[in-house]
Amino acid sequence: MERTINPTDILVVDDDPLLRLGMVCMLRELGYAPISAQDGARALPLIEKGTPIDLLITDYNMPGINGVELAQLMARAHPGLQVLIVSGERDIAGQLSPGWRQLAKPFTTCDLQQALLSITSA
Protein backbone atom coordinates (compact mmCIF):
# COMPACT_ATOMS: atom_id res chain seq x y z
CA MET A 1 0.00 0.00 0.00
CA GLU A 2 1.50 3.32 -1.04
CA ARG A 3 1.48 6.13 1.50
CA THR A 4 1.11 9.72 0.48
CA ILE A 5 2.82 12.79 1.81
CA ASN A 6 0.91 16.03 1.54
CA PRO A 7 3.32 18.51 -0.08
CA THR A 8 2.72 21.05 2.70
CA ASP A 9 2.81 18.68 5.66
CA ILE A 10 6.56 18.16 5.97
CA LEU A 11 8.50 19.47 8.95
CA VAL A 12 12.27 19.92 8.65
CA VAL A 13 14.22 20.28 11.91
CA ASP A 14 17.94 21.02 12.00
CA ASP A 15 19.92 23.27 14.32
CA ASP A 16 22.32 24.23 11.52
CA PRO A 17 20.60 27.05 9.58
CA LEU A 18 22.48 26.36 6.34
CA LEU A 19 21.68 22.65 6.38
CA ARG A 20 18.04 23.36 7.29
CA LEU A 21 17.73 25.85 4.45
CA GLY A 22 19.44 23.41 2.09
CA MET A 23 16.92 20.66 2.92
CA VAL A 24 14.00 23.06 2.55
CA CYS A 25 15.33 24.19 -0.86
CA MET A 26 15.80 20.57 -2.00
CA LEU A 27 12.26 19.72 -0.94
CA ARG A 28 10.88 22.77 -2.77
CA GLU A 29 12.80 21.66 -5.86
CA LEU A 30 10.99 18.32 -5.55
CA GLY A 31 7.59 20.01 -5.37
CA TYR A 32 7.06 20.12 -1.61
CA ALA A 33 6.37 23.17 0.58
CA PRO A 34 7.84 22.23 3.98
CA ILE A 35 7.84 24.16 7.19
CA SER A 36 10.94 24.20 9.38
CA ALA A 37 12.14 24.61 12.93
CA GLN A 38 15.65 25.14 14.26
CA ASP A 39 15.44 22.58 17.07
CA GLY A 40 13.21 20.21 18.97
CA ALA A 41 12.05 22.85 21.44
CA ARG A 42 10.65 24.88 18.55
CA ALA A 43 9.25 21.87 16.70
CA LEU A 44 7.17 20.36 19.53
CA PRO A 45 4.74 23.32 19.80
CA LEU A 46 3.77 22.75 16.16
CA ILE A 47 2.30 19.38 17.13
CA GLU A 48 0.67 20.88 20.21
CA LYS A 49 -0.99 23.53 18.02
CA GLY A 50 -2.36 20.81 15.76
CA THR A 51 -0.19 21.62 12.74
CA PRO A 52 -0.71 18.73 10.31
CA ILE A 53 2.55 16.87 9.72
CA ASP A 54 2.82 13.73 7.60
CA LEU A 55 6.61 13.57 7.56
CA LEU A 56 9.30 14.67 10.00
CA ILE A 57 12.76 15.15 8.52
CA THR A 58 15.14 15.83 11.37
CA ASP A 59 18.83 15.97 12.07
CA TYR A 60 19.94 13.38 14.60
CA ASN A 61 22.57 15.35 16.51
CA MET A 62 20.97 18.50 17.95
CA PRO A 63 21.38 20.24 21.31
CA GLY A 64 18.78 19.54 23.96
CA ILE A 65 16.84 16.79 22.25
CA ASN A 66 18.20 14.59 19.49
CA GLY A 67 16.26 13.72 16.36
CA VAL A 68 15.21 10.26 17.53
CA GLU A 69 13.88 11.63 20.83
CA LEU A 70 12.03 14.36 18.96
CA ALA A 71 10.52 11.83 16.56
CA GLN A 72 9.41 9.60 19.45
CA LEU A 73 7.65 12.51 21.18
CA MET A 74 6.01 13.69 17.97
CA ALA A 75 4.93 10.18 16.96
CA ARG A 76 3.15 9.71 20.30
CA ALA A 77 1.09 12.83 19.63
CA HIS A 78 0.73 12.12 15.91
CA PRO A 79 0.26 8.38 15.21
CA GLY A 80 1.28 7.41 11.70
CA LEU A 81 3.97 10.08 11.49
CA GLN A 82 6.60 9.14 8.95
CA VAL A 83 10.19 9.89 9.98
CA LEU A 84 13.44 10.47 8.14
CA ILE A 85 16.48 10.95 10.38
CA VAL A 86 19.34 12.78 8.70
CA SER A 87 22.74 12.09 10.19
CA GLY A 88 26.43 11.77 9.62
CA GLU A 89 26.43 9.19 12.43
CA ARG A 90 26.57 5.64 11.12
CA ASP A 91 25.51 3.79 14.25
CA ILE A 92 21.96 5.03 14.94
CA ALA A 93 20.00 2.37 13.03
CA GLY A 94 19.30 0.47 16.25
CA GLN A 95 17.57 3.55 17.68
CA LEU A 96 15.06 3.88 14.85
CA SER A 97 11.50 2.66 15.22
CA PRO A 98 10.15 0.28 12.57
CA GLY A 99 9.39 2.11 9.35
CA TRP A 100 11.65 5.05 10.11
CA ARG A 101 14.44 5.75 7.66
CA GLN A 102 17.93 7.22 7.93
CA LEU A 103 19.58 9.39 5.30
CA ALA A 104 23.35 9.75 5.62
CA LYS A 105 24.98 13.15 5.31
CA PRO A 106 26.12 14.48 2.97
CA PHE A 107 23.33 13.85 0.47
CA THR A 108 22.03 15.20 -2.82
CA THR A 109 18.53 16.15 -3.92
CA CYS A 110 18.40 12.80 -5.72
CA ASP A 111 19.33 10.97 -2.49
CA LEU A 112 16.57 12.84 -0.65
CA GLN A 113 14.07 12.01 -3.37
CA GLN A 114 14.98 8.32 -3.15
CA ALA A 115 14.55 8.40 0.63
CA LEU A 116 11.11 9.98 0.23
CA LEU A 117 10.16 7.30 -2.31
CA SER A 118 11.27 4.56 0.08
CA ILE A 119 9.05 6.06 2.79
CA THR A 120 5.97 6.35 0.60
CA SER A 121 6.35 2.88 -0.91
CA ALA A 122 6.85 1.13 2.45
Nearest Cα to 105, choosing from 82, 84, 89, 83? 89
CA–CA gap between residue 48 and residue 44 (Å, rounded): 7
Strand, helix or coil at 18? Answer: helix
Q: Which residue has the higher pLDDT, 119 or 70?
A: 70
Using an 8 Å Cβ cutoff, are 23 and 86 in contact? yes
CA–CA gap between residue 86 and residue 84 (Å, rounded): 6
Q: pLDDT class for 91, splitting at 50, 70, 90?
A: confident
pLDDT score for 3? 59
Q: pLDDT class for 1, splitting at 50, 70, 90?
A: very low
